[in-house]
Amino acid sequence: MAANRRREVFESYWSTYYWWVMLAALALALATQYPWRHRGDLAADALFALWSGAMYLAARRWPFWARLVHALGVIPILAFYTLQRDTRVPPEYHAELFLLLALFPIYAATAMLGIWGFAVAALLAGLLGFPLFDEPALLPVAIFYWTLGGLLGLGYYRMVGRLRGFHETLLRQALTDPLTGLRNRRALEEDYAQMQALAKREKKRLVLTLWDVNDLKTINDRYGHAAGDRVLKKFARILRDSIRQSDAVYRIGGDEFAGLHLGIEEPEALLQRVRRRFPWASSGWVDATDLDFKTAYRTADERMYRDKAHKPEELAKFTREEPIG
pLDDT at residue 163, as a whole number: 86
pLDDT at residue 150, as a whole number: 97
Asked if 19 and 180 touch (Cβ cutoff 8 Å), the reply is: no
pLDDT at residue 323, as a whole number: 47
pLDDT at residue 319, as a whole number: 57
Distance of CA 252 to the CA centre of its chain: 24
All residues at 6 or more sequence positions from 320 whose CB lies less than 8 Å from its CB, including other chains: none
Average pLDDT along the chain: 90
Q: What is the pLDDT of residues 116-129, one digit of tens each?
A: 999 999 999 999 99
Say yes or no to pLDDT of 309 above 70.
no
Domains of the chain: 2-172 (no CATH), 185-321 (3.30.70.270)
Mean pLDDT, rounded, for 68-82: 96
All residues at 6 or more sequence positions from 89 whose CB lies less than 8 Å from its CB, including other chains: 97
